[in-house]
Amino acid sequence: MTELWQQILSGLGSGFIYASLALAICLVFQGTGAVNFAQGVMATASAYVAWTLVTRGMPFWLAFVLALVASFIVGALIERVFIRPVEGSSPLVMLTVTVALLIGLQAVVALIWGDDPQQLESPFGGGSVEVLGARLTAQQLGAAAVVLVTLLLAGAFFRFTTLGLRMRAAAQNPASARLLSIDVGRMLALGWGLAATVGAVAGVIFAPTLGVSPAMMDSSLLLALAAATLGGFESRVGAVVGGLVLGVAANLASRYVPGIGSDLQLVVPFAVIFLVLLLRPQGLFGRASSVRA
């Protein structure tokens, strides 16, 4: 029983990575209608920025904040430069652009920082804590707490601030938003920047466990995409819950289902998706909508 509990908790731990990436993907999708395949590698770049600053002798939390700021700026710039020219095009075009960003950015990261995996010291120290009989490292707990706070902040931002409401308005109905003198273009750029920041939180805070390498976010990206599908691309809460569910499911399956193991863990999210979509095609938290021609 304790073991099961232990597995669930550490599954939740990695679930937070998928949850925050999935949230970032949702933010971008709601704003620009693009499924951003480059979200993972953008987070990787943030982790590298933090790693570089820390190895130059900067304290972790300062590097963390600077990496977030840099990610915000780069995210907004990417929207301005690469997405703006194809704004409002077909999803296929959008997808091609983000796939191009994925392979381009990944290569650029590898060219700048090299292929070898790097280590980032955990800011929470090497201790461990006992939670109801399960043993969690301070890093696991601390990282989960930081991501949780980020998710709550993001939720509050979209619910309670004028800027957040404006961004939602611009995403939901650009034409009406424009009539209310909302600068839609700027809101979309902000959305990308914000998404990049949320992704960066996950990238940097989980870097000590994942190791810093160009491919560090590859499988997380897949699980995040799966999580967003599971929760429904329109639902921010859904994406987060989807990420946590998949984290636990993947962990339990690789431990208890014979023949899966860590190399085939990726089977799990897609099996879950198949099951869910057979019952609820709109995703767990999505709304079924009727379509008009």
Partner 1 sequence: MTGAPTRTVVEPPAEKGNEPTVSMSHALPPAPRVGLRTLSWGAALVVVLLLAALAPANVISDFQFFQLNRVITFAIAIGGLNLLLGWAGTISAGHGALFGIGAYTTAILVADHGVPWPIAALASLVVGLVVGALLGLPALRLGGMNLGLITLAIAMLLPPLLTRLDWLTGGPFGKTTPRVEAPEGLPFSSPQWLFLVNLVVLAVVFWLLANMLRGRMGRALDAAASSRVMAAAHAIPTNRITVAVFAVSAAVAALAGALFHLSTRTSTPDSFTFLLSISLIAGAVVGGSRSFVGAIIGAAFVVFVPESLGEFVEPAAAGQWQQVVYAAALLLVIYFFPRGLAGLVRQARNRLVRRRSIHARPQEAQS
Residues at the interface with partner 1 (CB under 8 A): 35, 82, 85-86, 90-93, 95-97, 99-101, 103-108, 110-111, 218-219, 222, 225-226, 229, 263-264, 266-267, 269-270, 273-274, 277-278, 281, 291-293
What angle, 0 to 180 degrees and rounded to 10, lies between the N-to-C axes of helices 39-55 and 2-32? Answer: 110
CA atoms within 13 A on the CB side of 66: 13
Give the list of residues 6+ apart from residue 257 with CB closer than 8 angstroms, or none. Answer: none
Question: Which residue lies nearer to partner 1 by CB, 89 or 138?
Answer: 89
Looking at the Cβ atoms of 109 and 201, the one nearer to partner 1 is 109
What are the phi and psi torsion angles at 262 (to 5°)? -75, -25
Name the residue among 111, 45, 110 with its Cα closest to residue 74.
45
Query: Minimal distance in Å, beta carbon 144 to partner 1?
Result: 26
Provide DSSP, 224-240.
Answer: HHHHHHHH-TT-HHHHH
Contact 268, 249 (CB under 8 A): yes
CB of 58 to partner 1, least distance (A): 28
Helices (H), the chain: 2-32, 39-55, 60-78, 91-113, 138-160, 162-172, 174-179, 184-205, 207-210, 218-231, 236-256, 267-279
- Least separation in angstroms between residue 277's CB and partner 1 is 5
Closer to partner 1 by Cβ: residue 107 or 152: 107
Closer CB to partner 1, residue 76 or residue 268? 268
User: Under 8 Å CB-to-CB from 289, ≥6 apart: which residues?
Assistant: 282
User: Measured from the CB of residue 278, what is the shortest distance to partner 1 in angstroms?
Assistant: 7
Q: How far is the CB of 264 from partner 1 (least distance, A)?
A: 6
Task: Provide the minimum distance between the beta carbon of 286 and partner 1 in the complex, in angstroms, as a whole number.
Answer: 11
Q: Measured from the CB atom, is 110 or 237 closer to partner 1?
A: 110
Query: d(Cα 134, Cα 199) in Å, to the nearest integer?
Result: 28
- Look-up: residue for tokens 């980032």? 120
Q: Which CB atom, from 87 or from 121, has the smaller least distance to partner 1?
A: 87
